[in-house]
Amino acid sequence: MSYYEASSLNHAISSSSSSNSIQQHSSSSSSNIIPQSALSKSNIIQQRSSASNSNLIQSYSTSTIENLLKQKDNPKQFLIIKNDQKNVSSLAWATFGFPAKRLEADCYQRIVGFASCFEYKDTYIYQSGESGSTKHLVRHVCSKRSSSLENNEEGPIDKFMKLKKLPPLKLNSKDRTIIQDEFTKWICSSIRPFNLISDLGLKATEKYQGSINTDDILVTPTTISNNVKKLAEYYRFLLRPILIEQDKSGALAVCPDL
């Protein structure tokens, strides 16, 4: 075999092997590519959320999301979207949805790992998928209130006409939180000691108002102390955008001696 014949043969063999490798690479690559027509809008958002929101679960907490959903200066920045999954059987999703952050005008991105109440914005940790349980969502006061209203058909006159002794009034978690916040504001604004909440005279006054379990209304001094930090953080969150806006407009005055 001459030199030219050998070089031509080697060139043909190398061309054949390279074309086979290109075909194998293209076939393996095409098997991992999903056509755009096969992707629904929800899948695109879900994949984008799982890729970009891996840090959001760490940077958000339930209390932070509640504050963001309750803000009044920009209420459309964070809202609650419905669970539009097809296989939704739990009754909790009539009351709960997913918190989401606005990306564009009418485009919102779900904050993965949480579920929020439409009415009160109460937020709980929730993991989607087969491991996600809605038992703690069903036990929420809104779910209990809606189910009790459906099963209770007696009017207000019937309640007053009952002669049997009623048990002490039990407050739900939402009312307990409101009363706890009001006691905290009262003690802080009047500069009272935290132990005032456990004073016997205050409990006796509460009992005089009716058949109420005072331990269900009055919290401990430790709870008041911890709640001061929580409310302070919440009011700083509300005050921050107001101060920033006044500072930009040159209308901010600070009195450090207060």
pTM: 0.37
Ordered alpha helix ranges (H), 169-220: 173-189, 200-208, 214-217
Q: Which amino acid is at 21?
A: S
Within-domain flag for 74? yes
Nearest to 192 by CA among 224, 216, 219: 224
The tokens describing 216, both together, are 């269900």
- 73-110 per-position pLDDT tens digit: 888 889 999 988 877 778 888 889 999 998 887 789 89
Residues 112 and 198 in one domain: no
Residues 131 and 58 in one domain: yes
CB atoms within 10 A of CB 12: 10
Residues 57 and 134 in one domain: yes
Instruction: State the total domains in the chain.
Output: 2
Residues 62 and 129 in one domain: yes
Residues 54 and 103 in one domain: yes
Residues 174 and 136 in one domain: no
Within-domain flag for 86? yes
pLDDT at residue 168 in the model: 63
| Furthest-apart CA atoms within the chain: distance in Å | 119
Task: Decide if 123 contacts 65 (C-beta within 8 A).
Answer: yes
- 18-50 per-position pLDDT tens digit: 444 444 444 443 333 333 333 233 333 333 444
Within-domain flag for 29? no
Residues 134 and 194 in one domain: no
Nearest to 234 by CA among 64, 30, 87, 5: 64
Residues 108 and 55 in one domain: yes
Over the chain (258 residues), the average pLDDT of each successive run of 10 is 51 49 41 33 36 51 88 86 81 88 86 89 80 74 50 49 57 84 88 85 67 66 85 89 89 77
Within-domain flag for 77? yes
Among 103, 126, 142, where does a domain finish? 142
Rounded Cα gap, residues 232 and 237, in angstroms:
9
pLDDT at residue 156 in the model: 52
Residues 136 and 177 in one domain: no
pLDDT at residue 211 in the model: 57
Give me the domain span that covers residue 66. Answer: 45-142
Within-domain flag for 243? yes
Could you list the beta-strand ranges (E) of 56-119: 78-81, 96-102, 108-110, 114-117
159 phi, psi to nearest 5 deg: -70, -40
pLDDT at residue 116 in the model: 92
Within-domain flag for 235? yes
Residues 82 and 125 in one domain: yes
Task: Decide if 123 contacts 116 (C-beta within 8 A).
Answer: yes
Within-domain flag for 156? no
